[in-house]
Amino acid sequence: MSIFWSPVVHALSPYTPGEQPKLDGLIKLNTNENPYPPSPHAVAAIQAELGEDGDRLKLYPEPTGLMLREALADHFGIDSTNVFVGNSSDEVLAHTFIGLLKHDRPLLFPDITYSFYPVYCGLYGIDYRQIALDERFAIRVDDYIEARPGAVIFPNPNAPTGRLLPLTDISRLASALPDSPVVIDEAYIDFGGESAVALIAEHANLLVTQTLSKSRSLAGLRVGFAIGQPHLIDALTRVKDSFNSYPLDRLALVGATAAVRDREWFDQTRRRVAASRDRLSEELESLGFEVLPSAANFLFVRHPQHDAAQLAAALREQRILVRHFKAARIDQFLRITVGTTAQCNALVDALQSLV
Ligand SMILES: *Cc1c(COP(=O)(O)O)cnc(C)c1O
């Protein structure tokens, strides 16, 4: 606290990111990073942009991220006017909260979801209500429709549960609330779901956000994007140009563009992660864990006889990091990122000795 803080800063309750320890040799299964490296084409493109002497860094990047928007438009079979790009999907989401989700009636999102959402609401003074997931931790679309909200946002698959909502439910929700923006945060969709990007032509109120941090192994490059009809994209562009005209630097632009164009690498790594997830899920079940069905690159699990916080602490002593949330309804769960085969095996070995 300081007398120099503005009243806005006094009132903030910031997001707490998962630990990024400096220790080497840790098995890091706590922040849903991809265990495989990014596309070699992305790395080569960044090196080429840097050149011998970095001379190009003298110049500002192209402000609208057009080369990346065109690569994403090709990838999804849409137009570049349907695409907004930003410095991480967290930033794209922040612009979305102020640009599309602040209305007279409250914004709705699940009681168990990405914990950044209430933080943006605090920052931007957005009235919100949390809707309880059902007892199996699934989203019930009818609860949102009946509440007549100002807007709706949730991840699909949801985080930290990993549960996937079928596209038919998203379509039904968007149709039932034609005057309310509906935002689907698809940070994990590439690991096992169908993207709602397929629905944007039919729904003027539907915006889909994605990130290159998880399925394209580029969490360190900070690139995210949103897809929707041009009037929604325009709202985000207006916010961006009132905040930072050049959110993507030259290295991020060329690296992200090459990663999006390398479909083969993308398909290969996401399939490997999904296969490891399904194997890990079976192994944890055989150790007595309850494992929620996951379409993401993480599992949300609890053990009927072992306290989750104690398990997380015991794993940490064996240099394995997983994420535990001290929150109502989920404080007996662990969120475990799917690692390489070797990392998953090390986790299962450690848990075998603990449970
Ligand atoms: C990881 C994550 C993000 C943020 O991704 P970045 O692009 O790395 O900021 C957004 N939403 C959800 C649900 C996530 O899990």
Q: What is the CATH number of the domain that holds 30?
A: 3.90.1150.10
Last residue within a domain, chosen from 258, 277, 296: 258
Residue 216: the pLDDT is: 98
Is residue 300 domain-resident? yes
> What is the position in ligand 1's atom list of the atom closest to the CA of 89?
7
**Is the distance from CB of 30 to CB of 221 less than 8 angstroms?**
no
Q: Mark whether 247 and 343 lie in a shared domain.
A: no
Closest atom, ligand 1, to C-alpha of 155: 13
Nearest atom within ligand 1 for CA of residue 32? 1
What is the 247 CA–ligand 1 centroid distance (Å)?
Answer: 16
Name the domain boundary from 258, 288, 319.
258
Question: Is 139 part of any domain?
Answer: yes
Structural contact between residues 121 and 128, judged by C-beta atoms closer than 8 angstroms: yes
Within a domain: 1:
no
Distances, alpha carbon 111 to alpha carbons 120, 155, 206, in Å? 15, 12, 21
Count the domains in the chain: 2
The verdict on the CB of residue 155 being under 6 Å from ligand 1 is yes
In this structure, are 56 and 146 located in the same domain? yes
Choose the final residue of a domain: 192, 227, 258.
258
Tell me, yes or no, whether 89 and 112 share the same domain: yes
CA 342, CA 353: separation in Å to the nearest integer?
17
* pTM of the entire predicted model: 0.97
In a domain, 213, yes or no: yes
User: Is 2 contained in some domain?
Assistant: no
Both 278 and 150 in one domain: the answer is no
Eight-state DSSP code of residue 306: B
Q: Residue 187 C-alpha to ligand 1 middle, in angstroms? A: 6
If asked whether residues 20 and 143 sit together in one domain, one would say no
Answer whether residue 337 is part of any domain.
yes
Residues 200 and 110 both lie in one domain: yes
Is position 90 within any domain? yes
Residues 129 and 237 in one domain: yes
Shared domain check, 11 and 84: no
Nearest atom in ligand 1 to 91's CA:
9
Question: Is residue 67 one of the residues assigned to a domain?
Answer: yes
For residue 178, the domain's CATH number is: 3.40.640.10
pLDDT on residue 138: 97
| Same domain, yes or no: 246 and 308 | no
Domain encompassing residue 248: 40-258
- Do residues 229 and 280 share a domain? no
DSSP E strands in the chain: the ranges are 27-29, 83-86, 107-110, 128-131, 151-155, 182-185, 206-211, 224-227, 290-291, 298-302, 320-322, 334-337
Please check whether residues 45 and 187 belong to one and the same domain.
yes
Whether 14 and 73 share a structural domain: no
Residue spans of the chain under pLDDT 70: none
What's the pLDDT score for residue 68? 98
Cβ 186 under 6 angstroms from ligand 1:
no
